[in-house]
Amino acid sequence: MKALIPMLLASASLAGCATVETPEVPTYPMAENEQGAALNAEFEAFDEAQLALSPESRTYRGIRDDSYGEWSPGTDAAEIADERLLQQTAQRIAASYDPANLNEEDALSYELFAIQARNSAALFPYRDYGYIFDQMNGAQSSFPAFLINQHVVENEDHALAYISRIEGIGPVMDTLIARSAARAQDGIMPPRWVYPYVISDIDNLLETGSDYGDQAIIEDFREKVAALDLSSTREAELNAAAIAAWRDSAAPSYRRLRTEMERQMAMASTDDGVWRFPQGDEYYAARLKDYTTTDLTAEQIHNIGLREIDRIHDEMRAIMTEVGFEGDLQEFFEYTRTDPRFYYDTREAYLADVSQKLDRMEAALPQYFGMLPTDPLVVKPVEAFREQSAGKAFYSSPAPDGSRPGTYYVNLYRLEDMSKNELEALAYHEGLPGHHLQLSIQTGLDDLPAFRRFGRFTAYTEGWGLYSEELGKDMGFYQDPYSDFGRLGMELWRAARLVVDTGIHSKRWSREEAIAYLSENTPNPDGDIEKAIERYIVYPGQATAYMIGKLKIMEVRDRAQAALGDRFDWRGFHDTILASGPVPLSVMEENVDAWIAAQQGA
């Protein structure tokens, strides 16, 4: 939940904020093993203090304590408190520990924590530039999505906590409405076209029958309570209490939100990029640095995209020749974009094919990975209340206690936007060997500090997802040339993101110009293109991480294969990437270089 869960976003100046207490730990002088133990005690204290600020984070971790029925307050003061905790901890660690006196793993943790604090400091001054309500991660859909997908009900107390959270939506939503209105007053609001999506989400949650039986949250609550061993009388009482909480607290706040969204829509800008904000160029540069973990400028990223598009177009022309298509690449794009043979007639058929592809991939994993996921993977359609606004596919991590599986969500609202050609690559990216494998392994790295087990460096995580698509070809999949064309199409998509994201936020392209660019240079259907551009507009910089990360993984793999020749081991290489958890791309490169040297010396 973007607006509610504390993020690692920080500023160097937090004067006047409330002090956050953390347990004291030993300081110098200490032997190496003592320093490592003390440093990890610092990280554990930080994690406990951060969890204390976020009931949602505790729920994600599978912690069901007295906070299980609560929400974070959604206030600016809460974000400042979270940031103060991060910066105070980072300053204390820097003053108290010498990485030269730590073992290799603890020294890496020391470095990663410092990097996160620096990145956070660079972004925190722009914290009000984020959109509280948008079609991607807006609070209007995050509340129900969290309850439906994260709030487990195993007993009556959990059900009561669910009811408490329904009731708690009202006051937190009102806080977020007020913050959104204040930002709008300063000109910080999404473009005008975003508001109908938000209003659609609201209406989907408010338009219910007289008994609320088809309301998304109430329906989920009823199903979860029905699975408990309760009397029919007690079950009815709980359902009535949930309905009352929605009717009397949550629903009125959603109606107030709708009024505010209509007010903002009337005065919203038609400009799309963040360049229109004060210090917008500096803000975008900070976003690019954080997402890519590099110092690449917007211009450099734009040019990398153009280069990669040319390369992928050439590979696509080879497939066009292989299948005997007569015409140019644009005509081939139009053919694959519009011919009914490339689309499913039913959701069930789509989901059945996903399951088949993932089953075959799972069987092949041990040949390429020593570390394997231990959590189950489920594939689910995006819920009806948010499928009109949500992205085409995404992944949700498993709970560390095993109470929640990893989930690959696929948006089947418009089957004509979900090409058969892309199904295989999309499943490998979100499922196996992509996000599910990587994040299940990461969550299970019990010896690492929590900030590494549950943290993210987007270029690493999304770079791995995109790398996994091509790895499927190395593993012998994509036997249908049209499926391989779909793989290239998805890689092309990520290359084009480098061009359109920087085009929108740095070169001042309009939404329409960016849509036209993707239409001319990719085979994706119109609805897919429009939704993607709209995502990049409200999520500046994030889309650049995929290709930048993937290119670095391919670079270090090529280096390893050239250096080791027949001694190159797929499992050793992949385990080297995965064993550290997410790291900046420069750190990943150092890890692989060390592995290469160790293999050469073996």
Of 7, 2, 12, nearest to 90 by C-alpha is: 12
Pairing of strands 406-410, 393-396: antiparallel
Confidence at residue 12, expressed as pLDDT on a 0 to 100 scale: 31
pLDDT of 465-523, one tens digit each?
Answer: 999 999 999 999 999 999 999 999 999 999 999 999 999 999 999 999 999 999 999 99
For residues 58 and 51, is the Cβ–Cβ distance under 8 A? yes
Domain ranges of the chain: 1-129, 133-270, 283-549
Pairing of strands 393-396, 377-381: unpaired
The span from the CA of 202 to the CA of 220, in Å, is 17
pLDDT of 358-408, one tens digit each?
Answer: 999 999 999 999 999 999 999 999 988 888 877 889 999 998 888 889 999
> Distance of CA 546 to CAs 288, 334, 490, 510, 595, Å?
12, 25, 11, 22, 24
Instruction: Output the CA torsion 231→232→234→240 (10° steps).
Output: 160
Confidence at residue 33, expressed as pLDDT on a 0 to 100 scale: 73
Which residues share a beta bridge with 380? 409
Which residue carries 């989930």 as its tokens?
407
For residues 163 and 242, is the Cβ–Cβ distance under 8 A? yes
Confidence at residue 527, expressed as pLDDT on a 0 to 100 scale: 87
How does DSSP classify residue 248? I
Mean pLDDT across 575-591: 98
Confidence at residue 8, expressed as pLDDT on a 0 to 100 scale: 29
Amino acid residing at 150: Q
Edge to edge, the sheet with strand 393-396 lists: 377-381, 406-410, 393-396
Predicted TM-score (pTM) of this structure: 0.89
pLDDT of 228-240, one tens digit each?
Answer: 999 999 999 999 9
* Average pLDDT of the chain to the nearest whole number: 93
Confidence at residue 115, expressed as pLDDT on a 0 to 100 scale: 96
Mean pLDDT across 271-298: 97
| Exposure string over 512-538, b if 16+ CB within 10 A, otherwise e | eebbebbbebbbbbeebbbbbbbbbbb
CA-based torsion, 159, 164, 167, 170: positive or negative:
negative
